[in-house]
């Protein structure tokens, strides 16, 4: 009987979240965190309402699709670069093939997407605190943010490493 009551209560909470127009990710995160939003107030409640809105999930989904498209474009440009050239068409002396530089907007798109993903995580963390880390979706988001941070940092300092250069040249040969 106790299990039945618990199951009914969970279904009622899920229905309440969906009826309020909350997105799927917000509903899942709240379910995992065993979140009671009645304790939130002020700016934290406002942030909770923003990130729980189904439109927010949709907007982040559009950002993710745009990010995937730019990754594809970046891979296309990188694959067409002659060996020995950088994305800005700085080539070694022995390169004779013409080079087409990666558009500046495409080179900087990673930074914009990174800012959006960090802002999303920061909003969730601000609204719910450490409890948000109970959600595997949020843990995965954090992993992707940290991976992107490493990638962007390496690009920013323009790491020149024999192993990285070998991997890059093997990829395009």
> In the block, which residue shows the tokens 């970046």?
74
The pLDDT, as a whole number, for residue 171 is 46
Residue 80 lies in a domain: no
CA distance 141 to 120: 9
Paired tokens of 166: 């070998």
Residue 82 lies in a domain: no
Q: For the whole prediction, is pTM greater than 0.85?
A: no
- Phi/psi for 144 (5° steps) reads -65, -40
Share of the chain above pLDDT 70, in %: 64
The pLDDT, as a whole number, for residue 166 is 52
Residue 84 lies in a domain: no
Residue 11 lies in a domain: yes
Residue 93 lies in a domain: no
Q: How many domains does the chain have?
A: 1
Residue 133 lies in a domain: yes
Residue 122 lies in a domain: yes
Please report the beta strands in 28-156, taking only residues with DSSP state E, as ranges in sequence order.
Answer: none
CA distance 149 to 154: 9
Structural domain for 15, as ranges = 2-71+101-172
Q: In terms of Cα–Cα distance, which of 142, 136, 120, 132 is closest to 35?
A: 132
List, for residues 54-72, the tens digit of each pLDDT value: 889 899 999 999 999 999 9
List, for residues 140-166, the tens digit of each pLDDT value: 899 999 999 998 888 777 655 545 555
Residue 126 lies in a domain: yes
pLDDT winner (highest mean) among 15-19, 24-28, 115-119: 115-119
């Amino acid at each position: 009987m106790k299990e039945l009551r618990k199951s009914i209560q969970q279904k009622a909470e899920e229905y309440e979240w969906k009826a309020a127009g909350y997105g799927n990710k917000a509903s899942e995160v709240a379910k995992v965190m065993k979140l009671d939003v009645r304790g939130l107030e002020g700016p934290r409640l406002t942030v909770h309402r923003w990130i729980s809105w189904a439109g927010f999930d949709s907007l982040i989904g559009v950002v993710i699709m745009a990010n995937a498209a730019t990754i594809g474009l970046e891979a296309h440009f990188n694959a067409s670069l002659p060996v020995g050239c950088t994305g800005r068409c700085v080539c070694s002396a022995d390169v004779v093939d013409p080079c087409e530089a990666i558009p500046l907007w495409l080179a900087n798109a990673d930074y914009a997407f990174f800012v959006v993903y960090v802002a999303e995580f920061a909003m969730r963390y601000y609204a719910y605190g450490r409890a948000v880390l109970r959600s595997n979706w949020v843990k995965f988001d954090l992993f992707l943010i940290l991976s992107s941070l490493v990638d962007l940092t390496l690009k920013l300092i323009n790491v020149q490493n024999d192993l990285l250069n070998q991997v890059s040249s093997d990829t395009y040969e």
